[in-house]
Amino acid sequence: MAAQDLAGRHCVPCRGGVPPMDRAMAEEHLVQVPGWSLKEDPERIERDFRFPDFAQAQAFAVRVGDLCEAEGHHAEIHYGWGHCSVTFWTHKIRGLHENDFIMAAKVDGVADAPYVDPEVGTEPPPYVHGDGHPAKA
């Protein structure tokens, strides 16, 4: 199943009572959402996105939050100047479920789409390149 196939699906409510994916199954699903990585305790998937400024990172975080609310499957979202980190796991089972990978594919679609007017935001300060890292002398 490709990431596009996952992105076209909707989350099915998980009310608990099912075991979380084991690590091997999670690794099989992970190949469908490039850029995401597996983390532990609890098992979860996470991806960091980079932006040229705070306004665009914030706009992305809001779009991801709106998507999560619409799907009924919520992420941990952390953002600041030039970055946004999105993490999924299914809280009811304290681990991964197929819904987490569906949401990861949907978030990738948000990242690929224009989500903020290019006029929004500011130029990075002179000591920072567009990649968010300090400039080298």
pTM, two decimals, is 0.78
- For the chain, the average pLDDT equals 83
Range in 13-17, 54-58, 79-83, 92-96 the model is least confident about: 13-17
- Residues of the chain by 3-state class (helix, strand, coil), percent to 5: 35, 20, 45
Per the CB < 8 A criterion, the answer to whether 42 and 115 are in contact is no
Of residues 86 and 136, the one with the higher pLDDT is 86
75, pLDDT greater than 70:
yes
Per the CB < 8 A criterion, the answer to whether 109 and 60 are in contact is no
110, pLDDT greater than 60:
yes
